[in-house]
């Protein structure tokens, strides 16, 4: 860019090319802002209709509702629903992958688990259930502690070991 140029009696460093580009840039920026707002309303930045995902173990005895999108240091929730067939001897045993929970702070588990066991890459939660319980919800209230994509898996425990689980993943915005 040269110095100020003369326009009539006026010394002015006017650059109409740049001005036009700037106006176009502004318009594009407005469009982007609109898209961001729409995406936020749909839940692509966490909290919204598209922000909750569902996973299910292959045998269908355990379903999970998880956050597809969450935000750093914000609350997240993992809601497990077990079918009556999942109850054995008055107990439901659920395993969760540790690499998921490592980057989450567990604020609360509802109901309180009867015991938590460490099993290599898994954590095993045991809940006492009254006989004849139809099905129930187990809610893990979490707070995110990392940024980026987090992969996790969960499933039921069998007497023979961990049953095949379901995978899920959460993307955490900074």
Partner 1 sequence: MDAVLRSAAIYLFLLLIFRVAGKRTLTQITTFDFVLLLIISEVTQQAMIGDDFSITQAVLAIVTLVGLDISLSLWKQRSPRVERLIDSVPVLILENGQPIKERMEQLRIDESDILNAARELQGLERLDQIKYAILERSGNISVIPRPNAGG
Cβ proximity to partner 1, 22 vs 158, nearer residue = 22
> Cis link prior to 111 (omega < 30° from 0)?
yes
Q: How distant, in Å, are the alpha carbons of 21, 50, 148, 164 from that of 35? A: 21, 15, 22, 40
Told to check if 8 binds partner 1 by CB under 8 A, we report yes
- For residue 1, the minimal CB distance to partner 1 (Å) is 5
Distance of closest approach, residue 38 Cβ to partner 1, in angstroms: 17
Contact letters for partner 1, residues 16-55 (x by CB under 8 A): x-xxx-xx-xx--xx-xx----------------------
DSSP letter at 36 equals H
By CB under 8 A, residue 118 contacts partner 1: no
Q: Please enumerate in sequence order all residues whose Cβ is within 8 A of that of 17, keeping only pairs 6 or more positions apart, or say none.
A: none
- What 3-state DSSP class applies to 141? strand
Strand stretches in the chain, DSSP E: 5-7, 10-12, 52-56, 62-67, 69-71, 75-82, 91-97, 104-110, 115-119, 122-128, 136-144, 148-158, 161-162, 166-173
For residues 117 and 56, is the Cβ–Cβ distance under 8 A?
no
By CB under 8 A, the residues from 45 to 104 that bind partner 1 are 73
CA distance 55 to 165: 9
Query: Using CB under 8 A, which of the segments 1-9, 39-47, 56-64, 81-89 binds partner 1?
Result: 1-9
CB of 45 to partner 1, least distance (A): 14
How many residues sit in the footprint of partner 1 (CB under 8 A)? 22
**Nearer to partner 1 by C-beta: 7 or 118?**
7
Q: Which of 6, 9, 118, 159 binds partner 1 (CB under 8 A)?
A: 9
Tell which one of 7, 120, 131, 149 touches partner 1 (CB under 8 A).
Answer: 7
Q: Which spans of this chain sit near partner 1 (rule: CB under 8 A)?
A: 1, 7-10, 12-16, 18-20, 22-23, 25-26, 29-30, 32-33, 73
């Amino acid at each position: 860019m040269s110095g100020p140029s003369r326009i009539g009696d006026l010394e002015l460093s006017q650059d109409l090319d740049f001005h036009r580009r700037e106006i176009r840039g502004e318009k594009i920026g407005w469009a982007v802002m609109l898209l961001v707002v729409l995406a936020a309303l749909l839940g692509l930045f966490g909290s919204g209709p598209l922000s909750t995902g569902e996973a299910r173990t292959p045998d269908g005895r355990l379903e999970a509702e998880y956050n597809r999108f969450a935000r750093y240091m914000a609350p997240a929730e993992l809601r497990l629903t077990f079918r009556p067939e999942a109850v054995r001897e008055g107990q439901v045993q659920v395993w969760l992958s540790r690499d998921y929970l490592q980057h989450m702070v567990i604020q609360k588990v509802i109901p309180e688990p009867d015991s938590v066991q460490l099993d290599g890459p898994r954590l095993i939660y045991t809940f006492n259930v009254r006989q004849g319980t139809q099905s129930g919800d187990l809610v893990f209230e979490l707070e995110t502690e990392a940024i980026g994509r987090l992969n996790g898996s969960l499933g039921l425990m069998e007497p023979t070991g961990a049953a095949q689980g379901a995978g899920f993943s959460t993307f955490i915005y900074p």
